[in-house]
Amino acid sequence: MSLSLLSLRWRLIWSLILLQVVVGSLVLGGFIGLAWVLGRVVDETGQETVAVIQRALTRDATGKLIVVPTAEFLRLQKGDPSFWFIARDAKGAEVRHGDMPPRYATLITTLDGMARTAIEPEKDNTQPKARFERVETTAGPVNVLAQTGSPLSVKNTLKGTGLVFLFLVAPMALLTSLGVILATPFVVKRGLQGVVATAEHAEGIDVHERTTRLPLANVASEIRPLVNAVNRAFDRLNEGYDRQERFLADAAHELRTPITTLQIHLEGLPNDPLKVKLMQASARLATLAEQLLDLQRLDHVVPQEQPVDLKALCERVAADIAPLAIQNRCTLSVDAPQALMVRGDAPSLERALTNLIQNAIEHGGQGCDIQVRLCAPSCIEVLDSGPGIPEADRERVVAPFHRLVPRGRGAGLGLHLVAEVARLHRGQLTIGSSESGGAKMRLELNLHA
């Protein structure tokens, strides 16, 4: 379907043009119908009447001027029983029909030599009582004096209607259509200003600003039910998000105690491969609970924007997570030649960097090389030598609970938390490829000291 057909502007234009054509045609048809009923659809000038007589005049075998009763002549005679006329040729031979008023008896001779004239017209020189015209017939040149006001045939009525439509209605419809085409865009634009402003406001609404609603100012009353319905839908979505957040937070809090108890009991078991697997599983449960709590906290935390030394932060996090890297036979290094100061929330940044390094250990594989690189002015990169992340999946891995490997050990929350921390610091998380072909996670911050 053409986009122009879906445009409100073009719909209004075509609807208005069609309405004008239909109304104009109905009005014209109504006037014609009323005139027909009232007997006003007549040959006021007598031109058509004379033409019918002209086609009916001929001569018989003896050369006498006669009138042949053609179909149109009979229709004329039947439509107006008082119809009269007189026809006279150059030799003085005459043909008469009907009761001609006596005052016109000598006009046929008096007007001889004239081409045509109207007899006794009104003050505005219209609607004459009779018409005189010299015509060419099969019988030769003939002077015809005939009564006017006879009913027009259907053919001539339609012909006259077509001419009126062509020279009167059509130009007016064309001019008004042109005016509609030119004026409608401005009218639509002015009428939809409130809708456009509402749409621009809607563009700024995201999941982190769920209390924002579409404004009703300058919105037409016809559009207000739609805006109100959208706002009510936002309310329902906000309630659903709140219930989900409360559930996640409550579940994470409730899980921490049994997980801690489970870990204490596992530490008392004899050292064997089963204990190692159980300890790893309990560690993943603890990480999942902490990540769920982090999600809940990040949705409500306000950055403290305190001075943070990114160099010291990277070294501290790398030292804390080094045992995990060693356990997986990975090498972990920090490339931070100088201190970089930013203003931000240190606990959130530490958690984000921890997740990035854990993600590299998890997906880089046994024995991979992991490097934490500090870049000016306020950027942290984590690179690994693992298989990397396919370009088609780089946007989806940031979504919560999305995992590259469906049966992987992670919960699919780590990169989502990092992206949330980046958003909290007015920055972003970008995913690319390292020089060795592995993954490169770039955490950019926009809170400078």
pLDDT at 155 over 70: no
pLDDT at 235 over 80: yes
Burial environment of residue 247 by CB neighbours within 10 A (0 to 12, 13 to 18, 19 or more) = exposed
The DSSP 8-state label assigned to residue 165 in this structure reads I
Same domain, 431 and 319: yes
Asked if the structure places residue 293 within a domain, the reply is yes
Q: Check residue 271 and give its pLDDT.
A: 80
Same domain, 19 and 61: no
Same domain, 284 and 426: no
Higher pLDDT, 250 or 303: 250
Asked if the structure places residue 64 within a domain, the reply is yes
Q: What is the mean pLDDT of the chain?
A: 79
Segment 387-412 mean pLDDT: 69
- DSSP string for residues in 236-274: HHHHHHHHHHHHHHHHHHHHHHHHHHHHHHHHTS-SSHH
Q: 144: which strand partners?
A: 87, 133
The pLDDT tens digits of the residues spanning 394-403 come to 777 777 666 6
Q: Check residue 33 and give its pLDDT.
A: 65
The answer to whether 94 and 65 have CB atoms below 8 angstroms apart is: yes
Where does a domain end: 285, 300, 315? 300
Same domain, 85 and 133: yes
Higher pLDDT, 348 or 319: 319
Same domain, 175 and 30: yes
Band of pLDDT at residue 411, cut at 50, 70 and 90: low
Same domain, 224 and 124: no
Asked if the structure places residue 372 within a domain, the reply is yes
Band of pLDDT at residue 175, cut at 50, 70 and 90: confident
Same domain, 221 and 369: no
The answer to whether 29 and 41 have CB atoms below 8 angstroms apart is: no
Rounded Cα distance between 340 and 310, Å, is 5
User: Which residue in 326, 290, 299 sits closest to 413, CA to CA?
Assistant: 290
Same domain, 256 and 357: no
Where does a domain end: 251, 277, 300? 300
Asked if the structure places residue 449 within a domain, the reply is no
pLDDT at 250 over 70: no
Segment 430-440 mean pLDDT: 87
Where does a domain end: 247, 266, 300? 300
pLDDT at 142 over 90: yes
The answer to whether 371 and 335 have CB atoms below 8 angstroms apart is: yes
* Percent over 70 (pLDDT), the chain: 79
Same domain, 83 and 143: yes
Q: Among the listed ranges 281-290, 303-312, 416-425, which one has the minimum average pLDDT value?
A: 281-290
Q: Check residue 410 and give its pLDDT.
A: 54
Same domain, 143 and 243: no
Rounded Cα distance between 415 and 371, Å, is 17
Asked if the structure places residue 422 within a domain, the reply is yes
Counting the structural domains of the chain, the total is: 4
Rounded Cα distance between 281 and 182, Å, is 71
Band of pLDDT at residue 370, cut at 50, 70 and 90: very high
Give me the domain span that covers residue 74.
42-151
Q: 83: which strand partners?
A: none
Question: Distance of CA 207 to CAs 185, 203, 215, 386, Å?
Answer: 35, 12, 18, 33
Same domain, 71 and 208: no
Most confident of 143-147, 385-389, 423-427: 143-147
pLDDT at 196 over 80: no
Asked if the structure places residue 196 within a domain, the reply is no
pLDDT at 414 over 60: yes
Q: Among the listed ranges 210-224, 249-263, 326-340, which one has the minimum average pLDDT value?
A: 249-263
Same domain, 162 and 28: yes
Peptide bond into 387 cis (omega under 30): no
Rounded Cα distance between 328 and 222, Å, is 64
User: Which residue in 209, 214, 211, 212 sits closest to 227, CA to CA?
Assistant: 214
User: Which residue in 295, 291, 277, 283 sits closest to 259, CA to CA?
Assistant: 283
pLDDT at 231 over 80: yes
